[in-house]
């Protein structure tokens, strides 16, 4: 909404732009208050705090994705890699019927979490050596970029799941391809 308001402010005349800027300031304050409340609630819960620390040790996983994992994926660490991928909506599901064999696609799961995971994986594909090498290998094999990115989303999710399950922080040598 902040981005939409900023775009509107550029197109508006001076009197309306002033009101839009006030609205942007109000939205910024509310966003900061919500982020502070999320941080406070994570720090108030010892289990969440420990999981947050583990997840944020992974390059590409920031406070927003770690909080989304904690809030939207309580099964993290308890489910196996296939179950956790299906819950997050990054498991390839078939569209077969009778003799018809359709393409595999990702769908279902928790859409908001999948959206956040997508954005975090874009970042991780640049700064996380494990995700970057996985992405480059898939592109070199001829996979479309979005397919490769979704595969990297699944890899990032399964690594996070394993780290929470075993209670270990990110170690680049251990998690390399």
Residue pLDDT tens, the chain, 177 long: 999 999 999 999 888 999 999 999 999 999 999 999 999 999 999 999 999 999 999 999 999 999 999 999 999 989 999 999 999 989 887 777 777 676 777 778 888 999 999 999 999 999 899 999 999 999 999 999 999 999 999 999 999 999 999 999 988 765 554
> Collapsing DSSP states into helix, strand and coil, what is residue 92?
strand
Question: ∠ CA(56), CA(87), CA(137), 5° rounding?
Answer: 65
Question: What's the confidence (pLDDT) of residue 173?
Answer: 61
Q: Could you tell me how many residues make up the chain?
A: 177
In whole angstroms, give the CA distance from residue 24 to residue 14. 15
Question: What's the confidence (pLDDT) of residue 2?
Answer: 93
- Please name the residue that has the structure tokens 């489910």: 79
Could you count the other beta carbons within 10 Å of the beta carbon of residue 73? Answer: 21
Under 8 Å between Cβ of 100 and 86: no
In whole angstroms, give the CA distance from residue 2 to residue 81. 36
- What are the domain boundaries of the chain? 1-44, 51-177
Instruction: Report residue 58 as tokens.
Output: 């992974």
Question: What's the confidence (pLDDT) of residue 94?
Answer: 75
Distance from chain centroid for Cα 48: 17
In whole angstroms, give the CA distance from residue 85 to residue 56. 19
Closest CA to 87 of 107, 70, 104: 107
């Amino acid at each position: 909404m902040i981005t939409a308001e900023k775009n509107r402010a550029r197109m508006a005349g001076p009197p309306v732009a002033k009101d839009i800027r006030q609205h942007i300031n109000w939205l910024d304050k509310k966003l900061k208050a919500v982020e502070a409340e999320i941080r406070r609630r994570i720090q108030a819960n010892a289990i969440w705090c420990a999981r947050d620390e583990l997840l944020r040790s992974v390059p590409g996983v920031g406070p927003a994705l770690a909080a989304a994992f904690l809030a939207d994926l309580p099964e993290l660490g308890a489910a196996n890699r296939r179950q956790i991928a299906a819950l997050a909506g990054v498991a390839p599901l078939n569209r077969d019927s009778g003799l018809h064999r359709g393409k595999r696609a990702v769908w279902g799961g928790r859409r908001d979490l999948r959206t956040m995971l997508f954005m975090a994986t874009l970042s991780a594909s640049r700064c996380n050596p494990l995700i970057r090498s996985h992405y480059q290998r898939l592109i070199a094999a001829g996979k479309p970029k979005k397919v490769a990115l979704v595969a990297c989303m699944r890899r990032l999710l399964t690594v996070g799941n394993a780290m929470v399950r075993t209670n270990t922080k990110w170690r680049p040598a251990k998690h390399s391809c």
